[in-house]
A and B are shown apart, each in its own frame.
Chain A
Amino acid sequence: NAGVTQTPKFRVLKTGQSMTLLCAQDMNHEYMYWYRQDPGMGLRLIHYSVGEGTTAKGEVPDGYNVSRLKKQNFLLGLESAAPSQTSVYFCASSFAGVGYTFGSGTRLTVV
């Protein structure tokens, strides 16, 4: 039972490049989330999903897109990366919004 798995763990992008972060969970959770973590700012919600085929905006959605084509996967896309998107990204899943399980994070640097 792996829980929540994020790939890749590290990535360096040039400004303007695009990439997709993958999150996979094997707990049959309906709800999934993407957060970013910046020093002194805690965890801020980017987008979330309450079921397959659904997505919704969080606190800081600009510059990101998401898709939930399969219940176990939640993808976060950056279409045109900017230095302000340098951060550590965490995916999480939960059963009806309670008891989040987090992945180990993706450290993204945009130069």
Chain B
Amino acid sequence: GENVEQHPSTLSVQEGDSAVIKCTYSDSASNYFPWYKQELGKGPQLIIDIRSNVGEKKDQRIAVTLNKTAKHFSLHITETQPEDSAVYFCAATEGAISGGYNKLIFGAGTRLAVHP
């Protein structure tokens, strides 16, 4: 089955700096890679996703890059703000069973702290 590894487990940056979180996956058939942000006491919330036919996607201060050959993808946050402080999870599909993206396997999470 799919295995997703995420690094680093904790990340501390100064406000205004950039933050990068990296994930690797094992299943070469994976074709959908979302990122989730989880604030304290809340459920994870989708912030950006990328599909296997795209190498990069941006949404304001957030971007995700995908390297299918190396089986890794990364989240980039620019001009970080204190409200970006949260736990971030990457995920990858376990193959493409039955022609759909049936289930996601998550990384262990990265706790990001942005200091004013």
Chain A residues close to B by CB (< 8 Å)? 4, 31, 33, 35, 40-45, 48, 50, 58-59, 90, 92, 96-105
Q: Indicate with 1 or 0, residue by residue over B77-95, a CB within 8 angstroms of chain A CB atoms.
A: 0000000000001000100
Known contacts A96-B101, A97-B93, A99-B49, A42 near B43 by CB under 8 Å = no
Chain B residues, Cβ within 8 Å of A103: 43
Assembly CA distance A107 to B93 (angstroms):
26
Chain A residues touching B, majority SS: strand
B9–A99 contact, CB under 8 A? Answer: no
A99–B102 contact, CB under 8 A? Answer: no
Q: Which residue of A lies closest to B108 (CB)?
A: A42
A90–B108 contact, CB under 8 A? Answer: no
Partner of A105, one of B6, B36, B43: B43
Partner of B105, one of A59, A90, A102: A59
**Which residues of chain B from 19 to 65 have a CB within 8 Å of any chain A CB?**
32, 34, 36, 41-46, 49
Partner of B104, one of A50, A96, A100, A101: A100
* B106 within 8 A of partner (CB): yes
Assembly CA distance A11 to B108 (angstroms):
25
Chain B residues close to A by CB (< 8 Å)? 1, 6, 9, 32, 34, 36, 41-46, 49, 89, 93, 98, 100-109
Among A31, A42, A45, A105: residue with most chain B CB under 10 A: A42
Assembly CA distance A87 to B72 (angstroms):
29
A31–B106 contact, CB under 8 A? Answer: no
Chain A residues, Cβ within 8 Å of B98: 50
A97–B102 contact, CB under 8 A? Answer: yes
Among B42, B89, B93, B108: residue with most chain A CB under 10 A: B108
